[in-house]
Amino acid sequence: MGGLLSKEPPKPEPLLPIPWREVEFRHEAYMKLQDEIKNYQPHPKASTTNILILGNVGSGKSSFLNSMFSELRREDFNGRIQSFQGVRPPAQTSVTQRLKCHKFNDKIKIFDTAGFELEKTVNATIILKKIIDGEVAEGSKFDDILETKIKMEGDQIHCVVLVLSLHNAENLDPALIQFYEGLIGMLTKTGVPCKLLVTFVDKLVEKTEDLKDLYKRRDIKQKIEKLAKEMRISMCNVIVVSNYFEELKINQIKGTLLLEAVAQMLTAAKPFQERM
């Protein structure tokens, strides 16, 4: 009997013999990352390190924020995942409507933003420039920022994180790619460090445990390289994570990737603070 049902599933691609990035998933390495971030100090020229999270609607911005804070504050919540910022299944318009700031340790400030809507990208560039330059106060409604003539008291951003889902990376709207590319270009000119945070990598593995081999997966590497090329961002500025989305408790594998992402952002912010 032939037919569709007897068709064998496609064989998984062989793994690369050597991972293209070294990540240590053991407990000691995870704890080292936790300690590194706990003891982190911004450059003396800055009182806090301010990180801005950007990206299209539903790319996982708020989920990343929830995931990283669940990791950093694991002792407060016994490792249970918390929702500091509203999350919901992807929709046309963004669920996040105001510039929301979350603080860790009095040293790190993370700002969550509304997702880009393609028809509004011209305004988005102007709004984002104002936010990055510290001209927008926390809690401001994105819809009001354009109309506000007076400069408000905000925080200068020290690192911008552009969030992109790897899940539908192949079907990205060319207008969105162009917008991202322009944004990265603007940041390069102004000298603000920019990281591309690739989310949803779990969609390309069978189980969380398989994330350990993330950097041995040739297909994932190719997808990420293609994205980086399109955005005109160097591979060393690309970070890969899988956010918590269905779990109740944190786990070491996702946690290691998430904490490494945070450490990368904090490290990138310092030379910029030094030059301020």
Ligand X SMILES: Nc1nc2c(ncn2[C@@H]2O[C@H](COP(=O)(O)OP(=O)(O)OP(=O)(O)O)[C@@H](O)[C@H]2O)c(=O)[nH]1
**Residues at the interface with ligand X (CB under 6 A):** 55, 57-63, 87-90, 94-96, 114-115, 199-200, 202-203, 242-243, 245
**From 96, 140, 199, 273, residue interacting with Mg ion (rule: CB under 5 A):** 96
**CA quadruple 129, 54, 148, 101: dihedral sign:** negative
Stretch that binds Mg ion, among 59-67, 170-178, 181-189, 191-199 (CB under 5 A): 59-67
How many residues are listed for the chain in this entry?
276
DSSP state of 49: E
Q: How far apart are CA 105 and CA 117, in angstroms?
A: 33
Nearest CB to ligand X, comparing residues 99 and 157: 99
| Residue 177: CB minimum distance to Mg ion, A | 21
Nearest to 241 by CA among 196, 195, 212, 201: 201
Stretch that binds Mg ion, among 14-22, 56-64, 74-82, 151-159 (CB under 5 A): 56-64
**Over the range 51-83, which residues count as b (16 or more CB within 10 Å of their CB) and which as e?**
bbbbbbbbbbbbbbbbbbbbbbebeeeeeebee
* Spatial contact of 238 and 198, defined as CB atoms under 8 Å apart: yes
Q: How far apart are CA 84 and CA 64, in angstroms?
A: 10
**From 59, 62, 199, 264, residue interacting with Mg ion (rule: CB under 5 A):** 62
59 binds, among ligand X, Mg ion, none (CB under 5 to 8 A by kind): ligand X
Nearest CB to ligand X, comparing residues 121 and 199: 199
| Residue 224: CB minimum distance to ligand X, A | 14
Stretch that binds Mg ion, among 58-66, 212-220, 241-249, 255-263 (CB under 5 A): 58-66
The helix/strand/coil state of 35 is helix
Structure tokens at 196: 């591309």
x/- string (CB under 5 A) for Mg ion, residues 10-29? Answer: --------------------
Q: How far apart are CA 110 and CA 129, in angstroms?
A: 17
Nearest CB to ligand X, comparing residues 19 and 90: 90
Nearest CB to Mg ion, comparing residues 127 and 211: 127
Residues that bind Mg ion (CB under 5 A): 61-62, 96
